[in-house]
């Protein structure tokens, strides 16, 4: 791959915004939002003894509520807490997209550049696909997961870029009331493989308000050229929207993205005024993590 170091540097700059110590805000005596939020998490994860979820709410870059419920690892009994690290699945895409936009802002590449310029011995069709096409899912390239599975590669087989990852929540599949590990060693970067906590995600969300990384130019580029998704996501709880740089812009001007990889499921949402953000992450199929995120958003914005 050409210009690999530039991509790595751009992504590293973005991830700097995720570091630091989080100190949740103290609440007024008559503020019941924390209790109502905890009730949402209990509804989402009825039993604390199986796989579960973690969630966080941020206001203007500060974590105001976070909690976990359930087990991160059934074998050891390790509990899910607000500090448990999860695979964010497709919510990783915004970091890749923003890294590309940072490089475009420095004129180190253009969204109109063909894919062929970044590959060794590229096939002819890559001359017709641009970086912008890849970012907005309009390239027409088949999903690599479908291609690998068609060749007989199972999600339980090693595939893609390899990295030693220690202590992340494990994901589980449920059948007839019992749970079995369902993690995959596939580690294709760009569309997935960001490992973090819900609290760090809502802190990162404040970048969509203040542009600490990338400034106003990046904020404008995130939704510039966004393409309509029609009703393709209706089955996942999203009636309409336009897909920009790794995130959906909904008709009410809120930002949202879902991630689903094996049994990791995440919802990331930012309010229309960009002041409030919510992230919910689960390590098994939950009743509705997307609805839970919407309930948390309503608690903290109304």
pLDDT in tens, 78-119: 999 999 998 888 788 888 888 889 999 999 999 999 988 888
207-212 long-range contacts, Cβ below 8 Å, gap at least 24? 207/17, 208/255, 208/270, 208/274, 209/60, 209/61, 209/274, 209/275, 210/61, 212/17
Cα separation, 157 vs 178, in Å, equals: 23
pLDDT of 183 reads: 59
What is the DSSP-derived secondary structure letter of residue 58? E
Contact assessment for residue 291 and residue 32, using Cβ atoms and an 8 Å cutoff: no
pLDDT of 263 reads: 78
pLDDT of 227 reads: 84
pTM for the predicted model, two decimal places: 0.72
pLDDT of 161 reads: 40
Q: Which residues contact 276 (CB under 8 A, 6 or more apart)?
A: 57, 58, 59, 270, 297, 300, 301
pLDDT of 12 > 60? The answer is no
* Helix runs in 191-255, H state only: 198-205, 207-210, 215-223
pLDDT of 152 > 50? The answer is yes
CA distances in angstroms from 280 to 58, 166, 201, 202, listed in the order given: 12, 22, 10, 10
Contact assessment for residue 131 and residue 244, using Cβ atoms and an 8 Å cutoff: no
Cα separation, 277 vs 270, in Å, equals: 4
Q: Give the pLDDT band (50/70/90) at residue 15.
A: low
Cα separation, 51 vs 135, in Å, equals: 33
Instruction: Average the pLDDT over 263-289 and give the result.
Output: 91
Tokens standing for residue 274: 């960009």
Q: Give the pLDDT band (50/70/90) at residue 29.
A: low
| Highest mean pLDDT pick, 181-190, 219-228, 268-277 | 268-277
Q: Give the pLDDT band (50/70/90) at residue 243.
A: confident
- If you search the block for the tokens 């914005």, which residue do you land on? 301
Q: Give the pLDDT band (50/70/90) at residue 162.
A: very low
């Amino acid at each position: 791959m050409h210009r690999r170091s530039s991509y790595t540097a751009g992504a590293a700059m973005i991830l700097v915004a995720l570091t630091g110590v989080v100190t949740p805000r103290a609440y007024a005596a008559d503020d019941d939002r924390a209790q109502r939020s905890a009730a949402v998490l209990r509804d989402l994860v009825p039993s604390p003894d199986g796989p579960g979820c973690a969630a966080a709410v941020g206001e203007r870059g500060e974590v105001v509520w976070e909690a976990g419920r359930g087990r991160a690892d059934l074998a050891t009994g390790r509990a899910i807490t607000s500090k448990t690290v999860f695979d964010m699945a497709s919510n990783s895409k915004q970091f890749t997209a923003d890294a590309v936009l940072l490089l475009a802002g420095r004129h180190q590449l253009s969204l109109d550049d063909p894919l062929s310029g970044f590959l060794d011995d590229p096939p002819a069709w890559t001359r017709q696909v641009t970086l912008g096409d890849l970012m907005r899912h309009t390239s027409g390239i088949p999903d690599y997961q479908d291609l690998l599975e068609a060749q007989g590669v199972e999600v339980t087989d090693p595939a893609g870029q390899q990295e030693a990852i220690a202590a992340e929540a494990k994901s589980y599949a449920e059948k007839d009331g019992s749970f079995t590990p369902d993690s995959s060693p596939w580690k294709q970067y760009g569309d997935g493989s960001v490992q973090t906590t819900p609290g760090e995600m809502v802190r990162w969300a404040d970048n969509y308000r203040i542009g600490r990384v990338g400034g106003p130019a990046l904020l404008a580029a995130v939704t510039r050229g966004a393409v309509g998704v029609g009703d393709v996501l209706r089955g996942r709880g999203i009636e309409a929207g336009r897909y920009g740089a790794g995130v959906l812009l909904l008709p009410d001007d809120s930002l949202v993205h879902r991630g689903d990889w094996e049994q990791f499921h995440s919802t990331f949402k930012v309010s229309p005024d960009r002041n409030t953000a919510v992230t919910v992450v689960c390590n098994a199929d939950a009743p509705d993590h997307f609805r839970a995120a919407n309930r948390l958003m309503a608690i903290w914005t109304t």
